[in-house]
């Protein structure tokens, strides 16, 4: 069941986007019950395509929640577009500056208001050649530690057929199969109340990413590889279980 309390611009976005996705994709949704209907939640999907936000938004909306994505603050300053994004309750985030602390405050406020905040912990589309999840960044872990909000892992397979980041190929074929699966909240209880040191945040992040990776493996089948990490100057370093 979709959310009932939506503003005009939120309803406008649904009317504009959902019919297109309904024709474009053939959907397999599982695990919607893990996206509880009230209270703040942090949703952490894997990131395999620029089409991911459309597919994950469709899934989250169909689960009865309104997705709140993070976006570059500069986009929110674009006339008209920024105004609409604000009205649709999307969240501007400053990157690489002292304003990043204020961005965290905005995320905390969104969760306090009962929002469903979507964070791609990898930070960008995965660079793993077969599109398995790679090592994540610590933003989702930091937010979870600050708020205690449940972290819901989400695995997606299929958006790469809509846009493949490896080839920049767009697939416009109707009823492209996409599968999205949400799992139960990641168990981060052993870090409750911990000081957010770099080591703690990285441990939490690896736990989150490994859970996402295992969900992806449930869809794809086979044995997943260790979390991939961008090559360092001395070679490629991986994070194993």
**What average pLDDT does the structure give for the chain?**
90
| DSSP annotation of 28 | E
Range 8-166+178-220 has CATH code 2.60.320.10: no
Q: Which of 18-32, 157-171, 225-239 has the lowest mean pLDDT?
A: 225-239
Q: What whole-number distance in Å separates Cα of residue 205 and Cα of residue 215?
A: 15
Q: What whole-number distance in Å separates Cα of residue 227 and Cα of residue 238?
A: 6
Give the pLDDT confidence of 161-191 residue by residue, as tens digits: 999 999 999 999 999 999 999 999 999 999 9
Asked if 126 and 47 touch (Cβ cutoff 8 Å), the reply is: yes
DSSP bridge partners of 227: 239
Residue with tokens 């599982």: 30
Look at residue 231 in the predicted model and tell me its pLDDT.
74
pLDDT surpassing 90 at residue 99: no
Mean pLDDT of 213-224: 95
Residue of 49, 27, 12 whose CA lies nearest to 164: 49
The domains of the chain are located at 8-166+178-220
Comparison of pLDDT for 104 and 178, the residue scoring more: 178
Asked if 158 and 26 touch (Cβ cutoff 8 Å), the reply is: no
Q: What whole-number distance in Å separates Cα of residue 134 and Cα of residue 124?
A: 10
Give the pLDDT confidence of 135-155 residue by residue, as tens digits: 999 999 999 999 999 999 999
Residue 214 structure tokens: 């295992």
Mean pLDDT of 95-111: 77
Give the pLDDT confidence of 69-79 residue by residue, as tens digits: 988 888 888 88
Q: Which of 85-99, 170-184, 226-240 has the lowest mean pLDDT?
A: 226-240
Asked if 63 and 1 touch (Cβ cutoff 8 Å), the reply is: no
pLDDT confidence bin for 44, thresholds 50/70/90: very high
- Show the CA angle centred on residue 14, arms to residues 10 and 16, nearest 5°: 115
Comparison of pLDDT for 4 and 210, the residue scoring more: 210
User: 3-state secondary structure string, 21-50?
Assistant: HHHHEEEEEECHHHCCCCCCEEEEECCCCC
């Amino acid at each position: 069941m979709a959310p009932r309390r939506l503003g005009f611009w939120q309803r406008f976005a649904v009317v504009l986007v959902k019919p297109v996705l309904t024709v474009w994709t053939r959907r397999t949704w599982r695990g919607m019950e893990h996206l509880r209907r009230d209270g703040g939640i942090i949703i952490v999907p894997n990131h395999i395509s620029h089409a991911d936000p459309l597919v994950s938004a469709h899934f989250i909306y169909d689960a009865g929640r309104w997705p709140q994505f993070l976006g570059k603050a500069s986009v929110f300053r674009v006339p008209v577009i920024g105004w609409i994004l604000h009205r649709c309750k999307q969240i501007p985030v400053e990157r690489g500056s002292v304003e990043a602390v204020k961005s965290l405050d905005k995320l905390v406020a969104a969760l306090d208001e009962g929002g469903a905040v979507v964070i791609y912990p990898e930070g960008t589309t995965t660079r793993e050649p077969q599109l398995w999840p790679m090592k994540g960044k610590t933003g989702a872990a930091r937010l979870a530690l600050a708020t205690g909000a449940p972290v819901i892992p989400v695995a997606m397979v299929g958006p790469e057929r809509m846009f493949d980041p490896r080839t920049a190929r767009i697939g416009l074929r109707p009823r492209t199969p996409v599968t999205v699966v949400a799992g139960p909240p990641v168990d981060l209880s052993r870090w409750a109340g911990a000081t957010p040191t770099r080591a703690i945040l990285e441990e939490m992040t690896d736990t989150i990413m490994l859970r996402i990776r295992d969900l992806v493996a449930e869809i794809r089948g086979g044995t997943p590889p260790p979390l991939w990490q961008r090559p360092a100057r001395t070679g490629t370093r991986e994070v194993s279980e």
